Structure 1
């Protein structure tokens, strides 16, 4: 294999060096790379030609710090391997990059001390804002950002803390609607498949579903077999369906739980969906639409939330302290008509 002849530069090219090669002043170089600044076409052409020849790039970080706008946005994420979190990160990073932002993703799956150190690195780079994408990262990380004067946006959290902006979805309304959907399908023995994660959004869905059923005079069986994942959903099916008084209507607080529940119900218990049991999920991950599942679920407005964040960070002043986004039912074939 032939070796590359490219060699790393020993140092970055300065604006002064560009000015020297172009035969213009240092300020002319600065104006050329500043949007809206006044510079003649002839001077601009000389500067751009010299910059191209020398491989010059504007130090946007240094320029941003002068104007207190670094263009950096930090995303704090937990459980990045789950389909919903991955979809949200993809949508948020794409929209923020469209707005000219530089996105730094901080995975909170590591040791707390390492996560804290990584977050402080983003503070050293003067990140404009931190977006906490899930309910798992500890409140101490949020407080660290606020104490350092950073703009903080929390997704699907409702912490008792002043300073951040809260972007939330209508978890309670959706869970209440799920209860109504199952009752309308003729289900009389209801259950909710939740998890041990205990995040605000999961707790809100579980609590609202139980409350809606109780107001209709129905006691709900609750299963929390483990973390929010496929295996926990399958284990919940084993717990709920092994007895004689098994449920005929189940609300799973996430789609991953629902997929595990569906597979165990069909394969291990030989029950029919939706004839024997109706199942509703939450999130509308891509697998929910697969022919093997065809899951009735609630779609989170990922694109709308990502758009809102990108637009909000483009403004000097933030929006309301709390914004709620509606979720929408996606009817498929796991609930009887």
Structure 2
């Protein structure tokens, strides 16, 4: 075969068969796990493949068997620490079971997520994991009807078909409230996000409900999308008031870090002496000495391991519609005062 031809296209199985002096089917069997082929034929094929630089076209092979080994991952806000860690863990664990993660970067809105799901159907993905946005029920139904498994992360949607893998948000938000009350905080506030995702809303609503039960009315500040800048702006709004809080629950760590820096650098206050702050997620930065943020650690490794186990099954079978929520672990650091003496 000429160099020009090899530069123009991939080496085919037919070319390997000609060089090895065997049939096309012998090449296919050589590269199919468990297929029957003699040792002599295998050696000839592998030698020819090595000489030509041949690689099996797994995509074409998968499509011929109605399995592409592609798993679509629909995600937005990839640079944020939580999403980046989830995506890193997801793609690495998928590779261990021979799946290829196809990352589709969306804005998180309904239209963007819908387009992403259609792309996964076009590529005949074995499954799709939705980290961001709330898919339309009819589109989910279309995915399921086409044999595609759909897994939602931290959604509260009651849609027929997909699995919802979630953490226990409400229970831990109530625990955050009790943390701050045990620290002696009397004036509480919530820093939330305009994103309005089900998981963030569940944390916000559970915290405010716990305060309401105690007869306490608390402000909820949403200064922008989930991020450091929105957390800092929320702090500026809270501490420009006459009755500034002495305890704040931020529905994500990234909001908490922005809030904490504004409290310290814009208002000259100390954390936790003047104000205690609790976050949620336990991103890497939360453990840095300059923050030492008290937070709740999401069990990302366990969640991803469970998802990969589901996707490694040959047939989805009778998947439960909702997986029992995974429980975050409270991580006590220096951003909350220790419990005062009785």
TM over 0.5: yes
Native 8 Å contact 2:247 2:277 kept in 1: yes
Q: Which residue of 1 aligns with 2:10?
A: 12
Q: Which residue of 2 aligns with 1:31?
A: 29
Q: Report the Cα distance in structure 1 between the residues aligned to 2:265 and 2:278, rounded to whole angstroms.
A: 18
Change (3 A) 1:6 1:168: farther
Native 8 Å contact 2:278 2:295 kept in 1: yes
Matches within 5 A, 1:288-307: 288-307=286-305
Q: Which of 117, 130, 133 in structure 2 is aligned with 1:132? A: 130
Native 8 Å contact 1:223 1:236 kept in 2: yes
Q: Report the Cα distance in structure 2 between the residues aligned to 1:67 and 1:41, rounded to whole angstroms.
A: 26
Q: Which residue of 2 aligns with 1:215?
A: 213
Q: Which residue of 1 aligns with 2:282?
A: 284
Q: Which residue of 2 aligns with 1:22?
A: 20
Shift of 1:43: 1.4
Native 8 Å contact 1:76 1:137 kept in 2: no
Native 8 Å contact 2:114 2:136 kept in 1: no
Shift of 1:113: 6.8
Residue 322 of structure 1: SS of its match in structure 2? coil
Q: Which residue of 2 aligns with 1:325?
A: 326
Gaps of 5+ in 1: none
Q: Which of 58, 81, 84 in structure 2 is aligned with 1:83? A: 81
**Higher deviation after alignment, 252-261 or 237-246:** 237-246
Change (3 A) 1:212 1:71: same
1:182 partnered with 2:180: yes
1:69 partnered with 2:70: no
Q: Which residue of 1 aligns with 2:336?
A: 335
Residue 87 of structure 1: SS of its match in structure 2? helix
Q: Which residue of 1 aligns with 2:264?
A: 266
Q: Which of 112, 118, 121 in structure 2 is aligned with 1:120? A: 118
Matches within 5 A, 1:115-264: 119-135=117-133, 142=140, 145-264=143-262
Gaps of 5+ in 2: none
The TM-score with structure 2 as length reference comes to 0.91
Shift of 1:143: 5.2
CA RMSD, aligned part only? 2.2
Shift of 1:299: 0.9
Q: Report the Cα distance in structure 1 between the residues aligned to 2:194 and 2:62, rounded to whole angstroms.
A: 43
Q: Report the Cα distance in structure 2 between the residues aligned to 1:237 and 1:7, rounded to whole angstroms.
A: 64
Native 8 Å contact 1:72 1:128 kept in 2: yes
Residue 301 of structure 2: SS of its match in structure 1? helix
Q: Report the Cα distance in structure 2 between the residues aligned to 1:305 and 1:193, rounded to whole angstroms.
A: 26
The TM-score with structure 1 as length reference comes to 0.92
Q: Report the Cα distance in structure 2 between the residues aligned to 1:163 and 1:75, rounded to whole angstroms.
A: 17
Change (3 A) 1:218 1:263: same
Shift of 1:273: 0.9
Residue 325 of structure 1: SS of its match in structure 2? coil
Aligned residues: 333
Q: Report the Cα distance in structure 2 between the residues aligned to 1:221 and 1:280, rounded to whole angstroms.
A: 16
